[in-house]
Amino acid sequence: MFSFKVLKSEGKARLGELTTPHGKIKTPAFMPVGTQGTVKAMLHKDLLDIGTQIILGNTYHLYLRPGIEVIREAGGLHSFIGWHKPILTDSGGFQVFSLSRGRGDGKSKVVVKEEGVEFRDHLAGDLHFFTPEKVIEIQEAFGSDIIMPLDECVEYPTTYTYAKIALERTLRWLQRSIRAKKREDQALFGIVQGASFEELRRESAMRTVEMDLFGYAIGGLSVGEPKEVMYSMTQIVCDLLPWEKPRYLMGVGMPEDIIEAIARGVDMFDCVAPTRMARTGTLFTSYGKINIRNEKYKRDFSPPDPECDCYTCKNFTKAYLRHLFNVEEISAYILNTIHNLRFYHRLMENIQRAIEEGKFGEFRSSWYNVYDFQG
């Protein structure tokens, strides 16, 4: 039901194909984030139009609303949300640590125990307890194609000592997750932690690989560390992961981060950047990011990105998008999101083609010549 093949490679960059019960995914792949059972400001049909192959759902949010019973009764998450292509769900761990910590009353509401993690949700503040077994059970009710084990996410910066404790606990929780898993139509990934410590990243990678999972995720990056650290940790981990298994860099990132991670051997990505930034007026273009609110676009009757083939760029001008955004029309968020996600998917398609043709190195350097990634 599940398989992964590296079809072609150039250096460490790989062109692959991931097979799931809900279809095949060509990698490198970008997964739009559909936190609450919908990618924000997008309809599923528009996702299909722009080439989305798989979406990500957030276990934490879906567990709170609408709750597992509704999703179970609907026949699983695919059926509940009406999305019939692959779905990956995270473990909820990241949200437990980030959203609950951020409750703003100064006191952490997260208590990590060996058994699991106790937290208060960011809505009503109710008390919940996630264990590795519970998180697997929730995702089995969802029926997502790819599922993630509960892990302990540490803040950046952290100490070596605490990163080591979290790493050990994450490994023990992974062992329990593997034992708890019952459904055979779902693939479990292991998550490599270790913060920004090379030694811990190596240890986490090797010991996670020993547990022989379908795929491996790199967690705990893009949490505030410098980009060089993110890139070097990614490289250290990828070099220790088995060649024939898919690699997923969680929560990353900007286009340049994705290109750099692919150069280091990563196959899968998710990030809220294209959708969230669309809703604040930032559009990705072939030449770098622009903000559509800018006064200079008031009478600019050209498309956001002349090289883009999306509905937004083919039909609308910067002047119109600026107007829609300024008057707070919902269609501004929709059109911006369509464009940004298509930008990400087109980037992945161009990279896939480049690897196929043995021109990824060329693509990477010419991309930096054209795209202003510091703007």
Residues binding a copy of itself (CB under 8 A): 36-45, 61, 65-66, 70, 73-74, 80-82, 298-299, 301, 311, 315-317, 319-320, 322-324, 326-327, 329-331, 333-335
| Helix residue spans in the chain (DSSP H) | 44-50, 59-64, 68-73, 77-81, 93-101, 132-142, 160-180, 198-209, 227-240, 255-263, 273-278, 311-315, 318-326, 330-356, 360-370
Between 175 and 315, whose beta carbon lies closer to a copy of itself?
315
Residue 256: other Cβ atoms inside 10 A: 16
Between 128 and 323, whose beta carbon lies closer to a copy of itself?
323
> Is 90 among the catalytic positions?
yes
Among 151, 257, 267, 270, the active-site one is 270
* Closest CB 264 distance from a copy of itself, rounded Å: 35
* Closest CB 373 distance from a copy of itself, rounded Å: 28
Among 46, 90, 121, 151, the active-site one is 90
* Closest CB 299 distance from a copy of itself, rounded Å: 6
Note if the bond before 306 is cis, omega within 30 degrees. Answer: no
Measured CA to CA, the distance from residue 163 to residue 155 in angstroms comes to: 9
Phi, psi (rounded to 5 degrees) for 144: -60, 150
Give the full edge-to-edge strand order of the sheet including 247-249: 29-31, 268-270, 247-249, 215-218, 187-192, 146-147, 87-89, 55-57
> Is 270 among the catalytic positions?
yes
Between 179 and 299, whose beta carbon lies closer to a copy of itself?
299
The closest of 219, 212, 218, 199 to 244, measured between CA atoms, is 212
Between 1 and 43, whose beta carbon lies closer to a copy of itself?
43
Measured CA to CA, the distance from residue 209 to residue 201 in angstroms comes to: 12
**SS3 state of residue 249:** strand
Phi, psi (rounded to 5 degrees) for 189: -100, 155
Between 34 and 253, whose beta carbon lies closer to a copy of itself?
34
Burial of 317 (0-12, 13-18, 19+ CB in 10 A): middle
The closest of 292, 272, 286 to 336, measured between CA atoms, is 292
* Closest CB 40 distance from a copy of itself, rounded Å: 6
* Closest CB 274 distance from a copy of itself, rounded Å: 15
Between 70 and 111, whose beta carbon lies closer to a copy of itself?
70
* Closest CB 37 distance from a copy of itself, rounded Å: 6
* Residues designated catalytic: 90, 270
